Amino acid sequence: MTSSIPAHISAWVEQIRSGNLRALSRAITAVENRTSDSHHLLKALFAYSGRARVVGLTGSPGAGKSTLVDSLAGQYRKRQQTVGIIAIDPTSPFTGGAILGDRIRMQRHALDDKVFIRSVATRGHMGGLSRSARDMVRVLDAAGSDVVLIETVGVGQDELEVTRTAHTTLVVMAPGMGDEVQAIKAGIMECADVFAVNKADKEGVDGTVRDIELMIALGSEAMVSSGKTRGHTVHSKTALVGQADAALPQGRWVPPIVRCVSTRGDGIAELVKATERHRQWLEGTDAGKARRHQRLGEELREGLREALIREATRALGDDVDEAVRGVEAREVDPYTATERLIAAFRARPNPPPGSGKS
């Protein structure tokens, strides 16, 4: 703990690390609301993070993500592991409210002090997560969670932010949901580390599995041809079909397809094993290590973008509103207005050393 950390933050950190659930709840709330203390708190907690396994679950609404999260939490608890759960609910674009009802399906863990559940709203943030989800994961990690499960609001072709937060991404699908595979296939190859075909007791499950296998094969060929290999692609359709439950010798990960029935707990142990194999791949192969490096790089760049926007907005002040008025009056085009704002930001005087301002 450095001397720059306020004393009350240091005490807060110790409470969180000692298992104080009230302190942990306050920390999650502070991070979600981006209070004045949250920045210091996250800096202080970072040294204690990096141990938790982060698993993201995404998929179309109705696939059974919440029930699957509940079953996974139960499986991890059987292994005597502590679990943190972040369930993301969409914010209404009309009322600004959110139901936050995912935890209703997780009531059996409500009295287990080794399972921490927090439902949060997207607050209009795109990508399937809330804006502060990654920081909440870090708080739960530092608090001692062995596993952190993130349930997104649901995936479409471009809602893939969970892949930049989770170590392993489960794409949850179910038979009988129409042309679901076709609807999300453009983004799913960039998203899935493991496919969970939920509600596998329903008619049509074999067809859903075949569709996923074919989609992975075709998508892998296209990605290899274009040189885009996120780390879990193969170089031929033949190599993929029949080998969707292991990493290939070349080090490229093939997303396994696991059938499960979350309401009965069927296939949940196999799903956990699949995520563990993916963890071993991440830690034991060059491709996996490169992916982890890329994920951290994306986090730093995102943080840099947000910090620069905040600083530029603060430094430019009324100039931004004046530029908006100029564009509205069609006195200037938005591209030139943006260039002028950037030039004004770059030209601002440098603060004196030690002033603490940037």
Q: Per residue in 127-148, pLDDT tens?
A: 445 568 889 999 999 999 999 9
Residue 104 in tokens:
């209703």
Q: For 100-130, how does the pLDDT look when each residue is reduced to its tens digit (9 = 90+)?
A: 444 555 667 777 889 999 988 765 444 445 5
**pLDDT of 84 higher than 60:** yes
Q: How far is CA 182 from CA 28, 65, 199, 212, 285, in A?
A: 37, 19, 19, 10, 32
d(CA 202, CA 189): 25
Tell me if 62 sits within 8 A of 127, measured CB to CB: no
List residues bridging with 168 in a β-sheet: 55
CA gap 350, 358 in Å, rounded: 7
Backbone Cα Rg of the chain: 23
Residue 236 has pLDDT above 50, yes or no: no
- The pLDDT mean for the chain works out to 81
Q: Is the pLDDT of residue 218 over 80?
A: no
State the pLDDT confidence band at 332, using cuts at 50, 70 and 90.
very high
**Domain spans, the chain:** 1-48, 49-284
- In this predicted structure, what is the pLDDT of residue 224? 52
DSSP string, 289-343: HHHHHHHHHHHHHHHHHHHHHHHHHHHHTHHHHHHHHHHHTTSS-HHHHHHHHHH
On whether the CB atoms of residues 348 and 315 are closer than 8 A, the answer is yes
Q: At residue 241, does pLDDT exceed 80?
A: no
CATH numeric code, 49-284: 3.40.50.300
Planar angle of CA 227, 216, 250, nearest 5 degrees: 55
Query: For residue 98, what pLDDT band results from cuts at 50, 70 and 90?
Result: very low
- Looking at per-residue pLDDT, the higher value among 234 and 53 belongs to 53
For residues 123-153, one letter each, b for 16 or more C-beta atoms within 10 angstroms of the residue's C-beta and e for the rest, the string is: eebebbbbbbbbbbbbbbbbbbbbbbbbbbb
Over residues 11-63, the pLDDT tens digits come to 999 999 999 999 999 999 999 888 999 999 999 999 999 999 999 998 888 88
| Number of DSSP helices (H) and strands (E) in the chain, helices first | 12, 7
Q: Are 198 and 260 in contact (CB under 8 A)?
A: yes
Q: How many CA atoms lie within 13 A of 233 on its CB side?
A: 22
CA distance 190 to 177: 21
In this prediction, residue 182 carries a pLDDT of 54
